[in-house]
């Protein structure tokens, strides 16, 4: 602990303890501020507020660094696989070979969903957005798996965690199949996580489906890159929902709902739409001008990040993965990729973007990869949700297992009407 910081409020001097993390900036502990000085702090959007202590993920936004449990994202994406990353996020260390085999086996044995879920799906309109289906059906898991909703029972917490990591790809694939009017494809347990997901999405009963290992590896890498990102909007939503003791399925459904927004997980869908709308490199300057125009709400989708004020390290890996996928699929000239590369080049040398430190984020390239794999844009955020589920669960479990955990309850600066008396209808 560093020396406390003393602040003066009116005549009163208050010592605020300073807490140091293992890396990263110190934090001022203001927990007693209201009790001692009668004031709140004001930080809409939480730009200067640490909402929790955590040992899971570390980001240095200025340096463009992302670590899961201390391991750089580049190393995990290069050498690891998604289930190993899941184990790491959940347990704190990389698994031994035996631990990995056991973990993979347990996830794989939970991949089927309750058969009644298939009938539950029939209630949705065919044209429902797959994210709408995800929010509803993940929430509904608490109705189907009532025996793992007691958050105070460590065994039930573990079972719910495994169930969610295992079943989320199955539900996501069902959301896709339902939308395109094809029969659901059951999971196949001798396939790895990403291959199984590709097969559940793209196999049909009337034709064999052979998983392309390059695409499976690319998808696995996309899952690794999206697995966790410390206290972002959806993770904070999961923690806040969980702080009341809500069951884990309901909390993850809340996270999925938050992820859906275009400022968060919906950005990959929006980025691809924008690249298609731009269409050709010669139209880029007009879009850059729109993005810079204060009177125009348009923003370059896939650019900028609350935390990264440098190149998002995930975007670099994503760009390489995209090249691998396009070359595997024999795509020589993808106009979207050309527009993306040129847009990136122009934006990175434009003073507006340079001064505001707006770099491509993870979503800038992921949409082009997913499109090349055959996913429609409406599935992009769904794939993000599949990957992020493990991060949400790891964060939720860390919160529940913290002995000092309390319900999350922010305060406010009230600017509405002061007390006034009710006026009967006839006298208004
Ligand atoms: N295009 C043009 N200008 C931008 C962009 C952009 N993509 N992003 C930020 N700016 C500008 C803002 O207009 C603002 O300018 P000002 O200071 O002159 O008013 C300044 O940069 C700071 O922007 P804020 O909105 O205050 O930054 P914030 O941290 O709140 O927002 C966000 C971050 C939401 C990611 C924003 O950059 C954005 O909307 N980007 C596009 C959407 C996107 O790609 N989201 C994905 C995020 S990554 C993820 O969720 C996985």
Ligand 1, atom 35, lies closest to the CA of 305
Q: Which of 192, 226, 305, 312 is catalytic?
A: 305
Averaged pLDDT score across all residues of the chain: 94
Q: Residue range 297-322: average pLDDT?
A: 90
Using the atom order of ligand 1, give the atom closest to the CA of residue 352. Answer: 3
Question: If pLDDT is split at 50, 70 and 90, which confidence band does 174 have?
Answer: very high
What pLDDT sits at residue 1? 63
**C-alpha distances out from residue 297 to 83, 285, 289, 292, Å:** 40, 17, 12, 9
Q: What pLDDT digit, counting tens, does each position of 65-103 carry?
A: 999 999 999 999 999 999 999 999 999 999 999 999 999
Q: Residue range 369-379: average pLDDT?
A: 93
- 363 flagged as catalytic: yes
305 C-alpha vs ligand 1 centroid, how far in Å?
A: 6
Q: Which of 43, 294, 304 most suits a substitution to test ligand 1, by most atoms within 8 Å of the C-beta? A: 304
Pocket flag, ligand 1, residue 258 (CB < 6 Å): no
For the stretch 70-102, what's the b/e string if a residue is b when 16 or more beta carbons lie within 10 angstroms of its beta carbon? ebebeebbeebbbbbbbbbbbeeebbeeeeeee
The share of the chain scoring above pLDDT 90, in percent, equals 85
Pocket flag, ligand 1, residue 39 (CB < 6 Å): no
Pocket flag, ligand 1, residue 299 (CB < 6 Å): yes
Pocket flag, ligand 1, residue 301 (CB < 6 Å): yes
Q: Which of 81, 192, 312, 363 is catalytic?
A: 363
289 C-alpha vs ligand 1 centroid, how far in Å?
A: 15
Q: What pLDDT digit, counting tens, does each position of 341-368 carry?
A: 899 899 889 999 999 999 988 888 888 8
What pLDDT sits at residue 49? 96
- 305 flagged as catalytic: yes
Pocket flag, ligand 1, residue 303 (CB < 6 Å): yes
Pocket flag, ligand 1, residue 363 (CB < 6 Å): yes
Using the atom order of ligand 1, give the atom closest to the CA of residue 384. Answer: 51
Q: What pLDDT digit, counting tens, does each position of 8-65 carry?
A: 998 899 999 999 999 999 999 999 999 999 999 999 999 999 999 999 999 999 999 9
DSSP codes of every residue in 93-106: SPPPHHHHHHHHHH
What pLDDT sits at residue 83? 98
CA angle at residue 294 from 292 to 296, to 5 degrees? 85
Q: Residue range 295-324: average pLDDT?
A: 91
Beta bridge partners of 13: 8
Pocket flag, ligand 1, residue 347 (CB < 6 Å): no
413, 200 contact by CB (below 8 A): no
What pLDDT sits at residue 66? 97
Residue 2 above 90 pLDDT?
A: no
Sign, Cα dihedral of 420, 421, 425, 427: negative
Using the atom order of ligand 1, give the atom closest to the CA of residue 312. Answer: 48
Question: If pLDDT is split at 50, 70 and 90, which confidence band does 328 have?
Answer: very high
pTM for the model stands at 0.92
């Amino acid at each position: 602990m560093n020396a406390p910081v003393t602040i003066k409020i009116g005549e009163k001097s208050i010592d605020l303890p300073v807490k140091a993390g293992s890396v990263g900036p110190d934090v001022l502990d203001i927990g007693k501020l209201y009790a001692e000085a009668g004031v709140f702090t004001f930080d809409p959007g939480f730009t200067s507020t640490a909402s929790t202590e955590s040992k899971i993920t570390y980001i240095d936004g200025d340096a463009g660094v992302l670590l899961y449990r201390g391991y750089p994202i580049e190393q995990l994406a290069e050498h690891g696989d998604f289930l190993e990353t899941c184990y790491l996020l959940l347990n704190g260390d990389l698994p031994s070979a035996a631990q990995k085999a056991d973990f993979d086996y347990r996830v794989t044995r939970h991949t089927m969903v309750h058969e009644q879920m298939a009938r539950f799906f029939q209630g949705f309109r065919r044209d429902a957005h797959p994210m709408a289906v995800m929010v509803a059906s993940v929430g509904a898991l608490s109705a189907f798996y009532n025996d793992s909703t007691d958050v105070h029972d460590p065994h039930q917490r573990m079972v719910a965690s495994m169930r969610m990591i295992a079943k989320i790809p199955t539900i996501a694939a069902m959301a896709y199949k339902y939308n395109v009017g094809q029969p659901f494809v059951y999971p196949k347990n001798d396939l790895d996580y990403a291959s199984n997901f590709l097969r559940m999405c793209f196999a049909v009963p009337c034709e064999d489906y052979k998983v392309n290992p390059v695409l499976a590896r690319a998808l696995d890498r996309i899952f690794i890159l999206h697995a966790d990102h410390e206290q972002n909007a959806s993770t904070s939503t999961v923690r806040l929902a969980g702080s009341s003791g809500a069951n884990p399925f309901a909390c993850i459904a809340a996270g999925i709902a938050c992820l859906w927004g275009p400022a968060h997980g919906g950005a990959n869908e929006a980025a691809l739409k924008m690249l298609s709308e731009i269409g050709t490199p010669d139209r880029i300057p007009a879009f850059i001008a729109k993005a810079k125009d204060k009177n125009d709400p348009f923003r370059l989708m896939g650019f900028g990040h609350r935390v990264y004020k440098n190149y998002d390290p995930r975007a670099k890996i994503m760009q390489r993965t995209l090249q691998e996928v396009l070359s595997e699929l024999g795509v020589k000239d993808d106009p979207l990729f050309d527009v993306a590369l040129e847009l990136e080049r122009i934006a990175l040398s434009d003073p507006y973007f340079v001064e505001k430190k707006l770099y491509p984020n993870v979503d800038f390239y992921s949409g082009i990869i997913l499109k090349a794999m055959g996913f429609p844009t409406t599935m992009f955020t769904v794939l993000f949700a599949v990957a992020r589920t493990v991060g949400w669960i790891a964060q939720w479990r860390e919160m529940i297992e913290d002995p000092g955990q309390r319900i999350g309850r922010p305060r406010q600066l009230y600017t509405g009407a002061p007390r006034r008396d009710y006026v009967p209808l006839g006298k208004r």
